[in-house]
C-alpha cells in the first residue's frame, strides 16, 4: 500500500513543502524510519534527529525546518501523526469477503442490517439485532435479545450475554465478556453460606466505546450497568454490576470498579487502580496508578495512594516516608543521649546527697 504525500497532506489539512508525488508506504518513528516512510516530530528533544532520519517526509509543527526533507506542517504534529496512521491502519471494513459464513449458527427471529459480516463458527442466538456494516470475527457468542448497533467491530472469542444493548461504532477486543453475572451473594440464613442473588439486569454500552481484550463488564442485579459514549476501557478491566461510567472516560489495564460505583464524565483511571463500591467520582478527575478511592470524590480531583488522597499531599507523604529510616536513626540517637544524660543527672544527685 502506498499513498502520495500530497494526499496525506490533504487528509491532515496541513501545508506541504517538497515533492507531493512521493509515494509513502508507511508511518514510523523518526529514528527507525526508512525511505518512503513518513515520520513526525512532536517533541523538541527529537529535533536533532531530523538531520539523520531516513524518512522521505516529516510531519512538523509551525516554524520547524525539515532540513531539506519534504514536510507537512500542521498545528499539532502528534495529532497529524495519528491522522496519518489512520490511512495506513488495517481496516476490517475494507476486507473483500463480506456476508455471513456458512458455519455460523443463527437462532430464530434474528435481524441483520446491510453489509453485516459474520466470520466462521460464531453463534447468534434468538432475537438478536445487528446493525449495518458491523463485523463479527470468528468464535463470537451473542446471546438472546441482544442488540448491536452500526459499524461495530467484535473480535474473536468475545462473549456477549443475553439482553445486552450495544450502540454504534463500538469496538470489542478478543476475549472480552459483556453481561456476565454480577458478583452478588448474601448469607443463607440456614447455614450462613454465600447464597447467589439472581442477576437479572442488563448492560448498556453507548456509541463510540472501545473495550479492551479480556475485559469483563457484569450485568446489573435489577437495572443496568452503563458505559456512556466515548469511553475507552483497556485490557483486563473489571466493571462490576450496577456501575455507571460517564462519557469519554479512560480506564487503564487492571483497574476495577466495584459494584454500584459511579464515574462522572472524562474521568481517567491509571493502571491497577480501583473504586470502592457505592462511591461516586466527580467529572474531570484523575486517579493515578495503584491507587484506591475509598470515599466520594468531588469533580476535578487528582488523587493517588491507598487510600487515595490529593496527589500533591500523597507526594509529600511519600517524601516523608523516604526520610523515615534517617529520622528513626536520629530518634534512636536522641534516645541514647537522653538515657546518658539521665544517668549523669542521677550520678550528680547521688554525689550531692
Active-site amino acid positions:
241
Cα separation, 160 vs 174, in Å, equals: 12
Whether the Cβ atoms of residue 94 and residue 76 lie closer than 8 Å to each other? no
List Cβ neighbours of 101 (8 Å cut-off, separation of 6 or more). 118, 119, 120, 121, 122
Report residue 46 CA to chain centroid gap: 27
Spatial CB neighbours of 195, under 8 Å, sequence gap ≥ 6: 185, 186, 187, 188
Contact 236, 212 (CB under 8 A): yes
**Residue 209, C-beta contacts closer than 8 angstroms, at least 6 positions apart:** 167, 170, 171, 227, 229, 230, 231, 232, 233
The neighbouring-strand residues paired with 292 are 274
Crossing angle for the helix pair 5-12 and 77-88, to the nearest 10 degrees: 120
d(CA 176, CA 341): 69
Residue whose grid cell is 487503564: 252
- Most distant CA pair in the chain, distance: 109
Residue 346: all three cell numbers together: 542521677
Q: How many residues are given for the chain? A: 353
The cell 489512520 sits on which residue? 86
The strand pairing partners of 136, in sequence order, are: 118, 154
- Asked if 17 and 73 count as a contact pair (C-beta separation under 8 A), the reply is yes
DSSP 49: G
Amino acid at each position: 500500500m502506498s499513498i502520495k504525500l500530497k494526499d496525506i497532506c490533504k487528509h491532515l489539512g496541513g501545508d506541504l513543502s517538497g515533492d507531493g508525488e512521493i509515494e509513502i508506504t508507511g508511518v514510523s518513528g523518526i529514528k527507525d524510519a526508512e525511505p518512503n516512510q513518513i515520520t513526525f516530530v512532536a517533541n523538541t528533544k527529537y529535533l536533532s534527529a531530523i538531520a539523520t532520519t531516513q524518512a522521505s517526509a516529516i510531519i512538523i509543527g509551525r516554524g520547524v525546518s525539515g532540513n531539506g526533507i519534504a514536510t507537512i506542517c500542521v498545528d499539532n504534529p502528534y495529532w497529524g501523526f495519528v491522522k496519518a496512521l489512520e490511512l495506513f491502519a488495517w481496516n476490517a471494513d475494507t476486507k473483500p469477503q463480506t456476508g455471513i459464513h456458512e458455519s455460523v449458527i443463527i437462532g430464530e427471529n434474528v435481524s441483520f442490517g446491510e453489509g453485516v459480516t459474520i466470520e466462521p463458527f460464531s453463534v447468534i442466538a434468538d432475537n438478536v439485532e445487528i446493525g449495518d456494516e458491523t463485523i463479527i470475527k470468528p468464535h463470537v457468542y451473542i446471546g438472546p435479545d441482544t442488540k448491536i448497533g452500526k459499524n461495530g467491530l467484535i473480535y474473536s472469542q468475545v462473549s456477549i450475554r443475553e439482553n445486552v444493548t450495544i450502540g454504534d461504532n463500538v469496538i470489542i477486543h478478543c476475549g472480552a465478556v459483556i453481561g456476565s453475572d454480577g458478583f452478588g451473594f448474601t448469607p443463607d440464613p440456614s447455614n450462613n453460606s454465600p447464597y447467589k442473588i439472581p442477576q437479572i439486569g442488563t448492560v448498556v454500552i453507548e456509541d463510540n466505546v472501545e473495550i479492551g481484550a479480556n475485559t469483563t463488564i457484569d450485568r446489573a442485579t435489577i437495572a443496568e450497568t452503563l458505559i456512556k459514549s466515548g469511553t475507552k476501557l483497556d485490557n483486563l478491566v473489571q466493571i462490576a454490576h450496577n456501575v455507571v461510567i460517564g462519557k469519554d472516560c479512560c480506564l487503564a489495564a487492571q483497574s476495577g470498579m466495584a459494584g454500584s460505583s459511579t464515574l462522572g464524565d472524562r474521568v481517567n483511571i491509571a493502571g491497577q487502580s480501583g473504586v470502592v463500591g457505592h462511591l461516586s467520582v466527580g467529572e474531570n478527575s484523575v486517579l493515578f496508578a495503584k491507587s484506591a478511592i475509598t470515599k466520594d470524590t468531588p469533580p476535578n480531583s487528582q488523587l493517588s495512594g491507598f487510600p487515595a488522597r490529593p496527589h500533591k499531599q500523597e507526594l509529600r507523604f511519600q517524601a516523608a516516608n523516604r526520610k523515615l529510616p534517617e529520622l528513626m536513626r536520629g530518634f534512636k540517637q536522641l534516645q541514647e543521649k537522653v538515657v546518658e544524660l539521665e544517668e549523669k543527672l542521677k550520678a550528680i544527685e547521688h554525689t550531692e546527697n
